[in-house]
Chains A and B, each alone.
Chain A
Amino acid sequence: MSKAQVFESCDAAIEGIEDGSTILVGGFGLAGMPFDLIDALIRQGTNDLTIVSNNAGNSEVGLAALLKTGRVRKVVCSFPRQPDSYIFDDLYRSGEIELELVPQGNLAERMRAAGAGIGAFYCPTAVGTPLAEGREVRTIEGRDYLLEYPIRGDYALISAHKADPMGNLVYRKTARNFGPVMATAAATTIAQVSEVVPLGSLDAEAVVTPSIYVDRIVPVDTRRYTVQGAR
């Protein structure tokens, strides 16, 4: 399909997500988190999910609210423990959620590999650490590397700043974070945006995620939220 579908509601935009899906969820902390798509997923009631995201939720909003429903079987992330990650912390301590801990750069590169058709790659990060246990090590030109496999999503839920009706995306500041790479790595990419602008009004030179990676877009009201550490 050459053109993204534009939806009026997040509930319609996430239709079809099945139990047992692997979902890539954008955001670094709260910046770039697709709050409205996650809320729709909670309403939809999908169960037995694997979530790939940098963090494991903050406070009780967004990803944390999804975890609270108990419908997430496994989290693949780099930094679950935060001062306000108490929902994940309790689930993890009581054994109700599985954790695959992946260094942040490997998390990104494994998704990049998935989106770029790379079967696996060798990466120096985590060599000699507990995260290397049981993994293949290859010495290349005198340096050790670990074999890393791609991470693919059935769906990616991301947040961008603006889209055009084709599905081209631009982001805002550090809220870009995982959005562009997740958009490439999922079978179906769904983006919530602050605004869908008329065709031709995005600067083609400044498009960050080209429309080929984006399947569904839905405009949402910009949500104001308090950032941890804000003074």
Chain B
Amino acid sequence: MTIRSIDEASIGTATVEHLDRGALSTSELAAVIARDIPDGSFVNLGIGQPTRVADYLSSEAGVVLHTENGMLNMGPAAQGLDVDPDLTNAGKVPVTELPGAAYFDQADSFAMMRGGHLDVCVLGAFQVSFSGDLANWHTGQLEAIPAVGGAMDLAMGSKVVFVMMSLFTKTGASKLVPTVTYPLTGVSCVSRVYSDYATFDLTADDVVIRETWGISVSALRKRIGP
């Protein structure tokens, strides 16, 4: 397993290094992800940071948001009088419906994931391995109360799994790692990692750095090893 930049991978375009600026903010990262979601996709945005991607999807793109508690074509968060306790997203936040929305029960909601009908999901992560193993549901600490929700179903069911995360922990350790040390959510399921410092394609053989912000490819390689 090696970490390469795009030019070394001979794809024809070079890795873009943005060295005239710092790392991406969460909003900027959300915009980068939104830009890469194909028009017309059916997309599930995970609880937490990935929810922000919705703010950067244009209505012309025709992306349909799936929320696993049972809805397609979910609209933005509900405000004030629009708050309806019977209409929430998977994070239990009140939301709205867009024209063309559909409601369905839990068995249907997860059947459409596992059945290969959902094009993209964007999930947060504690760690991702070079080969695309995902850890995002449990810190593994003994006193922690485990809660998995739909994370494992999404990881295995979505056609494409994007991860949105900060690249480094508070102590500076890389969260993109040779081997995941947290309890696994899914095996070899992540195809791309979007982080504040760089985006990575995870292939069967190696990690390809697509784009960097505020750090050079060579400096990035040193920080994430191996």
Contact = CB atoms under 8 A, between A and B. Distances in A.
B219 interface: no
A129 B183 contact: yes
Contact of B68 (A31, A104, A180): A104
17 contacts: A81-B145, A103-B149, A105-B109, A105-B152, A105-B157, A109-B110, A126-B156, A128-B187, A129-B187, A172-B86, A174-B69, A174-B103, A177-B69, A180-B107, A229-B92, A231-B77, A231-B78
B110 A229 contact: no
Contacts of A127: 156, 186-187
Interface in B67-97: 67-71, 77-80, 83-88, 91-94, 97
Q: Name the prevailing secondary structure of the B interface residues.
A: loop
A181 B106 contact: yes
Interface size class of B (residues with CB under 8 A): 35 or more
Given A29-B88, A80-B147, A108-B107, 15 more contacts: A29-B92, A78-B149, A101-B146, A101-B148, A104-B150, A105-B111, A109-B107, A109-B111, A124-B156, A125-B114, A125-B152, A173-B84, A177-B105, A180-B107, A229-B94
B153 interface: yes
A148 to B, nearest CB: 12
A174 B67 contact: yes
Contacts, number: 171
B185 interface: yes
Interface string A93-107: 100000101111111
A79 B148 contact: yes
Interface in A103-125: 103-109, 111-112, 123-125
